[in-house]
Amino acid sequence: MKTLLLIDIQHDFLPGGALAVPDSDAILPYVHELTTNFERVIATQDWHPANHESFASQHAGKAVFDTIDLHGLPQTLWPDHCIQNSAGAELHDVAQVGNLEAIFRKGMDKEIDSYSGFYDNGRRRTTGLHGFLQEKAITELHFAGLAADFCVYYSMVDALDLGYKVVLHEQGTRAIDEANFAELLQNLKQNPQFSVVAR
């Protein structure tokens, strides 16, 4: 059984948003098409409290994209984004489809960031996504969403670790830093359980 997993397709990661990923609106027609080709769709949603400690605004003298130590983990500092119940945190219409079965939210604990849809960055807590997929006997995950080099990448790494077959739809994703993502992709391609539908 295969499933489409839409990662963080939220207004704040799209053009005009607080943490806009370059060229991210280019994914939308392709993602729309994908949602019509899968029986089941699951989404993740970045969902931060306003005082989340991944925000540069919470650290005097620090700037966006600086790296700090946050409670023992390296943390890139971001602009305020995906604040709970804000317009920027809403899923784009392309993800609000009738066959969207569940939304898994992440990043609610202000002390730790959560790039992966499965666990927070310290693997301290799960989101429940793995348990949900297991209960539904889902073994193959098709990925699209934002950003390729953060939440999509870490979600795919965890999915592979957990034993899923992973397919990345390249035309359905864009990176904050495409060069960085190209390198990450080379590493993933070593895994026989990973494949790419090229752009």
Binding site for ligand VGL (CB under 6 A): 8, 13, 46, 78, 146-147, 150-151
Which partner, ligand VGL, Zn ion, none, binds residue 4 by CB below 5 to 8 Å per kind?
none
* Locus of tokens 């927070």: 120
Catalytic residue flag (residue 8): yes
* Locus of tokens 């494949």: 195
Closest contact distance (angstroms) between CB of 46 and ligand VGL is 5
Q: Which stretch binds Zn ion (CB under 5 A): 46-54, 129-137, 140-148, 163-171?
A: 46-54
**Could you say which of 12, 80, 82, 151 is catalytic?**
151
Rounded Cα–Cα distance for residues 110 and 178 (Å)? 28
Rounded Cα–Cα distance for residues 162 and 32 (Å)? 27
Which partner, Zn ion, ligand VGL, none, binds residue 147 by CB below 5 to 8 Å per kind?
ligand VGL
**Could you say which of 12, 46, 82, 106 is catalytic?**
106
Q: Mask 5-44, x = binds Zn ion (CB under 5 A)?
A: ----------------------------------------
Q: Residue 15 gets which letter from DSSP?
A: T
**Looking at beta carbons only, is 73 or 138 nearer to Zn ion?**
73
**Looking at beta carbons only, is 126 or 171 nearer to Zn ion?**
126
Catalytic residue flag (residue 46): no
Sequence-ordered strand ranges (E) for 77-137: 100-106
Q: Residue 78 gets which letter from DSSP?
A: B
**Looking at beta carbons only, is 17 or 107 nearer to Zn ion?**
107
Rg (CA), the chain: 16
Rounded Cα–Cα distance for residues 171 and 144 (Å)? 8
Nearest to 198 by CA among 53, 30, 16, 61: 30
**Looking at beta carbons only, is 74 or 192 nearer to ligand VGL?**
74
Q: Does 46 bind Zn ion (CB under 5 A)?
A: yes
For 36-73, give the secondary structure using H, E and C.
HHCCCEEEEEECECCCCCCEHHHCCCCCCCCEEEECCE
Which partner, ligand VGL, Zn ion, none, binds residue 118 by CB below 5 to 8 Å per kind?
none
Catalytic residue flag (residue 82): no
Catalytic positions, written as ranges: 8, 106, 151
